[in-house]
Amino acid sequence: MRTTTGWQADPGTRRLRRTTLMRRDLRPDDLAIRVDYCGVCHSDLHALRAHESDAGGVLVPGHEFTGTVREVGSAVTGFAPGEAVAVGNIVDSCGTCPMCLAGQENFCRDFPTLTYGGRDRQDGTTTLGGYSREYVVREAFAHHLPAGLDAAGAAPLLCAGITVWEPLRALGVGPGSTVAVAGLGGLGHLAVKLAVALGATTSVLSRTREKADEAHALGADGFVLATDARQMAAVRDRFDVVIDTISAPHDLAPYLRTVALDGTLSHLGHLGRVTVDTTDLLIGRKKLGSAGSGGRPSTAALLRFCAAHRLTADIELLPSSRVNTALDRLARNDVRHRFVLDMSDLDRQ
Ligand SMILES: [Zn+2]
Ligand SMILES: [Zn+2]
């Protein structure tokens, strides 16, 4: 085994403490990556909360990171030491089911191996995430980080970015499309930037009047105050695609009414059970969808697109020693728009 340093939650706690972590020795198709920057995702917060009431095992979060290849296994052909690399929230899949064969490893029928809290398909151990100075991953689930992309700002593309990119592409968003984004957090701000870069006329639907300036700064053309019935009525049947990134339980009906004829409301992330009056779908032949994470081909396509458009997340960069502060502030939505941890402080004692 190899050792590295990272941030771990011990059994029954959600506070992270710095400690020594074990990584597997390189298999023939593995890369050892020095993690340089790791984003702080809402999933990390949820995982830590769940871990607090879990007596077994340890948790090391982190599933959107960029870094540098340090070592390669004997059979690796696509990467060399020194290259810039990026890893997202899945690190393996069955490779043979219809979803995997379609390049949608994120929907693998055998469930993809998650970057942390997942079960390694070969030795059955629990995966430890990117809040760490080193990560060992199959080369097939690592991505080249294109030159010209800021490595810190690119880290959130690997979870938040790909989660909004796949539905935008699958729903055919491009020049001539009208898109609305509900919620302006880590996912929502990237949805606005990507929709604008794809050429769509883009609006933000928000319950907070103060978000209007942020929305326009991100490139949005329109801003609709979702608590204002007159403003919502004015955009009735307006948007071809509504990307709903609101994670708290909420009524979908007001947002469905803003969807255009034959348009789609796509809710991203996990909302659980919802109640929908099918009349809100019937009138206008509207569709309700969902998505999350992304497959390998579309992740590579996203990184190429972002490099071409010089598009990265708006981040607040903190040394990894402030990880608990970052999580506390994220829990209060006190971030614009994503925390990224600089892992280089783990090299110091
Ligand atoms: Zn995530
Ligand atoms: Zn599969």
CATH number for the domain spanning 134: value is: 3.90.180.10
Residue 223 sits in a domain of what CATH number?
3.40.50.720
Tell me how far the alpha carbon of residue 278 lies from the centroid of ligand 1, in angstroms: 31
Whose atoms come closest to the Cα of 185: which ligand? Answer: 1
Q: Are 148 and 8 members of one domain?
A: yes
Q: Are 227 and 312 members of one domain?
A: no
Helices (H), the chain: 42-52, 98-101, 151-154, 160-170, 186-197, 211-217, 229-234, 253-256, 279-282, 296-309, 323-331
Cis peptide before 270 (omega within 30 of 0): no
Q: Are 79 and 218 members of one domain?
A: no
Q: Are 108 and 149 members of one domain?
A: yes
Q: Are 152 and 15 members of one domain?
A: yes
Region of residue 208 (phi > 0: left; psi between -120 and 50: alpha; otherwise: beta): beta
Question: What is the extent of the structural domain holding 188?
Answer: 161-291
Tell me how far the alpha carbon of residue 254 lies from the centroid of ligand 2, in angstroms: 36
User: How many CB atoms are located within 10 Å of the residue 184 CB?
Assistant: 24
Could you read off the pLDDT of 21-67 as tens digits, one per residue?
999 999 999 999 999 999 999 999 999 999 998 777 899 999 999 99
Q: Are 136 and 15 members of one domain?
A: yes
In the predicted model, is pLDDT for residue 172 greater than 90? yes
Tell me how far the alpha carbon of residue 292 lies from the centroid of ligand 1, in angstroms: 9
Kindly indicate the confidence band of residue 269, based on its pLDDT and cuts at 50, 70 and 90. confident
Say what the pLDDT of residue 55 is: 72
Q: Are 181 and 271 members of one domain?
A: yes
Tell me how far the alpha carbon of residue 212 lies from the centroid of ligand 2, in angstroms: 42
- For ion ligand 1, residues whose CB falls within 5 Å: 41, 43, 159
Give dist(CA 16, CA 271) in Å, integer.
27
In the predicted model, is pLDDT for residue 128 greater than 90? yes
Whose atoms come closest to the Cα of 87: which ligand? Answer: 1
Domains of the chain: total:
2
Q: Are 166 and 113 members of one domain?
A: no
Could you read off the pLDDT of 72-81 as tens digits, one per residue?
999 999 999 9
Cα angle 244, 289, 252 (rounded to 5 degrees) comes to: 50
Q: Are 169 and 153 members of one domain?
A: no
**If you count DSSP H runs as helices and E runs as strands, how many of each does the chain have, helices first?**
11, 17
pTM given for the model: 0.97
pLDDT average, residue stretch 201-227: 96
Tell me how far the alpha carbon of residue 300 lies from the centroid of ligand 2, in angstroms: 18
